[in-house]
Amino acid sequence: MHVEQRFLKYVSYWTTSDQGNITNGTVRIPSTDRQFELGKVLETELKDLGLEKVVLTDHCYVYGLLPATPGHEDKKVVGFISHMDTSPDFSGEMVKPQIIQNYDGEDVLLRESGEYLKVSDFPSLKDLKGRTLITTDGTTLLGADDKAGIAEIMTALEEIITSGQPHGDIWVGFTPDEEVGCGADLFDLNYFKADFAYTLDGAYEGEVAYENFNAASARFSIKGVNVHPGEAKDIMVNAALVACEIQSLLPPEETPAHTEGREGFYHLTDMHGDVASASLSYIVRDHDKTIFEARLKKLRTLEDEMNEKYGAGTVYLTITDSYSNMLEIIEKHPYTVEIAKKAISNVGLEPISCPVRGGTDGARLSFMGLPCPNLGTGGYGFHGPYEHITIEGMKTATQVIREIVKITAEEL
């Protein structure tokens, strides 16, 4: 099956994860049972390809092993990982892709919403001219994050098997709930016995990323005092106003809309409230560990200041660590990056490495003991209706996987 056929099949499954299933920092994994539907499909496909140790776990992790070809049993074991869920930021149900042959490099009408995928917003579209472009119809996200990665891994496996390409042991893993920060929580490294691995969860197909944000989520829970407004003087504490005050005390220039590269931010993702109670939810990010810790300290200071001003117990802050910058680990295993760069060069691209303004399962897995840089899938505009990818980009990413397997078999 061609990579684009697999991709279009996988995006038809509604696998959106749900941040709402997080309670006191704990997520029910998978956060949505619908992720099992794709998990079952992948389990069957891996078995049909002849992989061994294929399993779909009770928590919706899919694993499989392609055993080494004769004479390559002593080679390092490589793994490839992608996630099954799509972002809860935008609808992932009833995805209807648009396929545009010989794309002209201009703005694209997303036919159901009437919106346009604009070159002015996504300048990389110009580089996709002449390719076969796949977009959304404007009413959903596409699901290239990360079903493109899954399709590329599955296609590479099939091509390796049918071509008779020599290889060492190859593990593959597909995770749930990456988009809500929990994809690595129950990843079983006692079962997935790779020496190193790669997540396929990036953009440009010539990318190998090994730096990412230090990240945490933060939630302010605010308890107000609600009395009749006519009798409220020196009694009422309006929880909604306290929430507004907290937000006003954070630097307005340190948000995603005003930062780039390695610059960090406070991102207000959600707010609810009335006089009696309110809440603010943030994600906090920074590449620099010291600055990241200072950001968390700032939030704790705001909690103390609000309780001093309005009374003890008015504000309660919960901070939950999400992931750390994998650079700390990858620097100890530089061969993982060098192999990827060589593989990318071998397929005719110039490898690039950019700091990831986010995170991947690979960041967590690296700290769990599995060095795991991130590779591009060829997709762009993730998490919304402007998501897009090309068939050519997916084919190239598939070839990068095969080259990594080849280099590992020949040199490690």
Looking at residues 84-94, what average pLDDT do you find? Answer: 95
Half-sphere exposure at residue 332, Cβ-oriented, CA atoms within 13 angstroms? 10
Domain ranges for the chain: 3-212+325-411, 214-323
Looking at residues 18-40, what average pLDDT do you find? Answer: 83
Instruction: Burial-class residue 102 by CB neighbours within 10 Å (0-12, 13-18, 19+).
Output: exposed
Q: How far apart are CA 4 and CA 392, in angstroms?
A: 9
Digit-coded pLDDT (tens) for 357-386: 877 788 899 999 999 999 999 999 999 999
Phi, psi of 98 (to 5 degrees): -100, 130
Nearest one of 250, 242, 241 to 316, comparing CA atoms? 242
Catalytic residue, chosen from 43, 45, 85, 158, is 85
Catalytic residue, chosen from 4, 45, 178, 361, is 178
Confidence (pLDDT) at 241: 97
- Helical (H) or strand (E) element with 363: helix 361-367
In the block, tokens 């149900």 appear at 93
- Helical (H) or strand (E) element with 268: strand 265-273
Confidence (pLDDT) at 355: 83
Where are the strands (E) in 314-371, listed by range?
A: 315-323
Q: How far apart are CA 27 and CA 181, in angstroms?
A: 9
299-337: burial string, b at 16+ Cβ within 10 Å, e else: beebbeebeeebeeebbebeeeebbbbbbebbeebebbb
Thinking of the domain 214-323, which architecture would CATH place it in?
2-Layer Sandwich (3.30)
- Check if 4 is active-site: no
Digit-coded pLDDT (tens) for 174-225: 999 999 888 899 999 999 999 999 999 999 999 999 998 998 999 999 999 9
Q: Specify the pTM.
A: 0.87
CB of 82 within 8 A of CB of 70? Answer: no
Q: Which residues contact 331 (CB under 8 A, 6 or more apart)?
A: none
Digit-coded pLDDT (tens) for 214-258: 989 999 999 999 999 998 899 999 999 999 999 999 999 999 999
Nearest one of 412, 395, 406, 375 to 198, comparing CA atoms? 375
Q: Which fold has domain 3-212+325-411?
A: Aminopeptidase (3.40.630)
- Check if 303 is active-site: no
